[in-house]
Structure 1
C-alpha cells in the first residue's frame, strides 16, 4: 500500500527533528555531510524515531542542494550526499516497512536576492533527481517562507515525477504567510498545483500551529499535514533551546487531528519522545473526513492618510524638483544643521534629505532630525534607510515610526560596510539588500507587515533607490535599476557625477525608463577633498580635468570654493537640460555652497520660462 492510500484511511506519524539531535550530540557543522562521513549516526537517529512509532522517516537532506552546500565547500557533492541519504533511510526503514520521504528544503527566506527562481528550480531539479534514484515514497518540501519559491517548486516537481509531493509552508505569524496570503488560500493553491499533501512546519509551536489551522478548510484533493516545533524558542546559558514536554506535544497531536490533519510529525526541538507521545494518542484513530470552518471577521485595513505634499516622483515627472542633502551632526549641537536646513528650504528646495550614518559613522538619527524639521519648521524631510544597521525587526519598527511621524519620503540603500567607518569591528546586519527593502516597504504600503500580518492601516511611502552611474559598464548599472523598478522603486537618486559627458551618457542609457532620476551634484571644496573623494569614497570618480582645475587652486580656499561651485554649475547646466530632478549634496555643512547652486537652478528655469514666453 502506497503512502497516499494509507493516508486515505489512517492517521500517520512522521519523525521529528534531525538537527536537534545532532546538536545534542555536539555536532554543529554541515548535517548533510554526515550522510557520507558518519552514516551510522544518521541511521541511528532514523532507527530511534522508528522505535518511537514513526510511520514515516525523512532523509537527512534538508540543505543538500548546491547553494547551501557551497558554504561548506561541498557544492560538488550533491549527488553523493543525496544518494547516500536515501540509502541510509531505506536501510533503516526496511525491517519495519516505514515510508521514506526525500526531503528538499527551501533556499529563500525573506531575501529574494539569495537566488532567482530559475536558479532555485535548477537546484531542486538536480537534488530531486538524485533522491528519486532511491525510489522514495514521497518528496517532502519543508520550511518554505517564500510562497513564490514553493509554488514554482511544486509546479516543476509535478512535471518531473508522479511520486507523492508533500508541500509545507512556514509562517512568521499564525494563519498568514509573509506575503500576506492566508494559510487557507496558500494551501488551496498548492493543492491546485498538484501537491498531494499540504501543510505547515517549523517556526511555530503546537499552540500557534493549531490556531493557524483552525481557519483552514479541508483541501479539495490533498491531505493536511503539520510538523510544528516543540515550542517557541528560549535562551538558556547562551544557547537556544526548545522547552516542551512530550505529553503536551502528544495532546497537541490530538487537537491537530481535530483540525483535519492526517500526517503529523515534528520540527525543531522535537525528539523521539515527542513522536512517541503523538503516536500513542493518534495512531489508532481514524482521520477526520469533514470539517466546518467558521470564517473570522476580516481585519479592516484603513487607507493611508494623504500626504501633505505631492510625492517627489510625481512632481519630478512633470517639472523641476530639487532635493538637497544635509548630513545630520556627528555631535549633539544641532544649531548649524537646523539653521542650514531652514535656509535651504526657504530657498525653495522640495525636500531636505539626510543620510543614515553615511560612511558607517554615527550621526544623530535622521528620524529624530527629520521629525524636528517637520514639526518645528514645517520642512519636508527625506530620510535614507540602510540595511546595514538594523535587522528586520529594527527596520520595520523604524519604518512604522517614520510613518507615525508623517515622514513618507524614503531612500532605501544597502549601506556602506562598517569597516569604512568609526567602528570597523561593528557588525553589519544586512538581513536584506536594498532590493528586498524596497519590496518590504511597498508591502507596508499595502498595510502588510514584513511577517505578513495586518498593520490595520496602509503606510504611504514614496521610495527612492540609489543609482551609481560611476561604473565602467553603465548598462549593468541600468539593469540593476530595472530590477529596482520591478521591486517598486518610485524614483532614483544618483551618486555625485563630475563630468557633463557622464550626465549625457546616463540620459542615453535611461531614456527608455519613465521612472524619474535625480542627478547628484556635490560641489568640491579643495584639492584634498577632491582627491579623497576620487580615491577613497566608494561610488565616486572625478575626471582628470576636474582634478586639474581643483589642483590649480592650490591652498587658496576662496579660489577653491569658487572653482568647486563653478564646476557644479556647469554640471547642473547639462543635468537641467536632460532631467527634472536635481540632487545637491552639501559638503561639510557648507550650505552656503548649496544655496548658490539652488539660485543657479532658479536662474536657469527662469531664463527658460522667459524664452518660452517669447515663442
Structure 2
C-alpha cells in the first residue's frame, strides 16, 4: 500500500512506524466540550465551522504535547448525524474545513494529516439498506479526505467487524494507509461474534496497515486484550484507550458509576459530563504505555478524555521529548518540597 503519496511530507505513516512508535492524539470531542465549544449528547463537530481558530489551537496543543498525527475532526461528521441535527447542508463544508485546519497544522509541524471515519450508527448486516447507507457515508468522507491531501485515514470505534472491513475496503480504494480500530464494550467480542483479537486479525489480513482497539475501555481494562491482539497479529498494533479508571465490574467508561455522589449526576451515570473523578493521572498513562510498548504495541493514543499533559506522559514513556517536555514536572525546584528547602534543614512537607 502506498504511503503518504498525496503530499510533500518526507516520512509517511509506515516509515515512521518502522523507525519507532507513533503517537496520535484523539479525544477532540471531550476536549472541545470541556472548553465550551461542543455540545455533549449530539457530539457533532460544528466547532470546525463556528470556531476554526479554537480547533486549530487544539491541534497545536496536542502537537506540542507529542502527537505525530493531525486527525481531522470529522468524527460524527456524517450524513446521518447531520440529518438528525437538521444541518445536512453543512456536511461537506464541515468535513472539508476540518481537513483543511488539520492540514495547515500538519504541514507546519512535519506531522501527518489523517482523515477520519467512524461507526456509522446505522449499520445492520441484516438490513441491506442500512449497509448501503453506511457505505455511502464512508465513501464520501474518504473521498473528501483524499481530495484534501490526507496522508492516511483512521477508521475507528467499530463494534461490527463487517462494518470495519467495509470502511477498510473504501480506504484501500484510495490507496491510503489505513488505521482501523475496534471498540470493545462490556462483552469481549464484536457484535458479529468475533473476539477482538480475531477481528483485528481479519482486518490485518484484509489489508489494514495498523489494527487495534480504541475508546470505551480505560487502560487497565484494555491492556490484556491489546496484548492478545499483539500476539494474534503480525503487523502494527494500536492501543488508544480512554484515560479513565475503568475496572473489572465497570469495564467501559459508559459503565462507570459514581458511588460517592450518585445523586449529583444525571441518572447516576457519570458518562459523559461527570467523569472528572475517574480520570487517570499522568503516571497511570505512563505505566500503561510502557507495558503496552513492552508487549509490542507501536501505535499509541488516547481517546475521549485525552488532555495534553496526559499525551505528553504517553510520549515521554516512549522515550520521546516533545516541546511540552520543557515544562515537565521537576519538584526539586519547589519551595517546600525541593532541594532548596532541604539545604536549609527545613521540612515544610512534614507540616502539610
TM-score, length of structure 2 as denominator length: 0.75
2:80 to 47, 55, 67: 67
Distance 1:156 1:28 in 2: 29
Mapped contact 1:103–1:141 kept (Cα < 8 A): yes
2:45 partner SS: helix
What is the aligned counterpart of 2:36 among 5, 10, 26?
26
**Structure 1: 4+ residue segments shifted above 4 A:** 109-115, 218-221
Alignment CA distance shift 1:110-1:250 (3 Å): farther
What's the offset of the Cα at 1:188? 1.0
The secondary structure found in structure 1 opposite 2:237 is strand
Q: What's the secondary structure of 2:274's corresponding residue?
A: strand
| 1:196 matches 2:209 | yes
Q: Aligned-pair distance for 1:57? A: 2.3
Give the secondary-structure state (helix, strand or coil) at the position aligned to 2:280: coil
Check conservation: 1:195, 1:222, Cα contact below 8 A: no
Aligned length: 284
Change (3 A) 1:109 1:116: closer
The answer to whether the Cα contact below 8 Å between 1:20 and 1:271 also exists between their aligned partners in 2 is no
Secondary structure of the corresponding residue to residue 109 of structure 2: coil
Instruction: Answer yes or no: is 1:277 the counterpart of 2:287.
Output: no
Among 16, 25, 31, the alignment partner of 1:15 is 25
Structure-2 residue corresponding to 1:593? none
Question: Which position in structure 2 is the counterpart of 1:590?
Answer: none
What pairs up with 1:305-316 in 2 under 5 angstroms?
none
Q: Is the 8 A contact 2:156 2:180 kept in 1?
A: yes
Partner of 1:32: helix, strand, or coil? coil
- C-alpha displacement of 1:183: 1.7
Partner of 2:160: 146
In 2, are the aligned partners of 1:108 and 1:114 still within 8 Å (CA)? Answer: no
2:274 is equivalent to residue 261 of structure 1:
no
Matches within 5 A, 1:137-176: 137-158=151-172, 160-173=173-186, 175-176=188-189
With over 3 angstroms needed to count, the CA separation of the structure-2 counterparts of 1:115 and 1:107, relative to structure 1, is: farther
**Secondary structure in structure 2 of the residue aligned to 1:86:** helix
Q: C-alpha separation between the residues in 1 aligned to 2:147 and 2:319?
A: 31
Higher RCO (Cα < 8 Å, 6 or more apart): 2
Partner SS, residue 100 of structure 1 = strand
SS in 2 for 1:51: helix
Output the CA distance in 1 between the equivalents of 2:233 and 2:227: 17
Do the aligned residues in 2 keep the contact of 1:210 with 1:259 (CA within 8 Å)? no
1:184 pairs with one of 185, 197, 207: 197
Per the TM alignment, residue 16 of structure 1 is displaced from its structure 2 partner at its CA by 3.3
Q: In 1, are the aligned partners of 2:44 and 2:77 still within 8 Å (CA)?
A: no
Choose from 5, 16, 24 the match for 1:6.
16
2-side partners of 1:250 and 1:178: how far apart? 31
Q: Return the alpha-carbon distance in structure 2 between the equivalents of residues 52 and 114 of structure 1.
A: 43
Q: After TM superposition, give the deviation of residue 213 of structure 1 in Å.
A: 1.6
Over the aligned positions, Cα root-mean-square deviation in angstroms equals 2.2
Provide structure 2 residue ranges, at least 5 long, that are not aligned to the other structure. 1-10, 247-252, 266-272, 322-352
1:126 correspondence with 2:160: no
Q: Report the Cα distance in structure 2 between the residues aligned to 1:262 and 1:221, rounded to whole angstroms.
A: 12
CA positional deviation for 1:84: 0.6
Deviations along 1:175-199, whole A, 9 cap, x unmatched? 5323331122111110111111111
Q: Contact between 1:207 and 1:252, CA under 8 Å: does it hold in 2?
A: yes
Show the counterpart of 1:600. none
Confirm or deny: 8 A CA contact 2:153 2:177 kept in the other structure.
Answer: yes
> Residue 61 of structure 2: which of 25, 45, 48 is its match?
48
Quote the offset at 1:79 in angstroms: 1.6
Structure 1 residue corresponding to 2:282, chosen from 246, 250, 254:
246
Q: Is contact 1:16-1:272 (8 Å) kept?
A: no
Distance 1:240 1:109 in 2: 28
Tell me which structure has the larger Cα radius of gyration.
1
Q: Deviations over 1:342-363 (max 9, x none)?
A: xxxxxxxxxxxxxxxxxxxxxx
Deviations 1:137-181 (A, max 9, x none): 2100111012211112212322x2111010000111475323331
Q: Is the CA contact (8 Å cut-off) linking 1:197 and 1:224 kept in structure 2? A: yes
Matched, 1:135 2:145: no
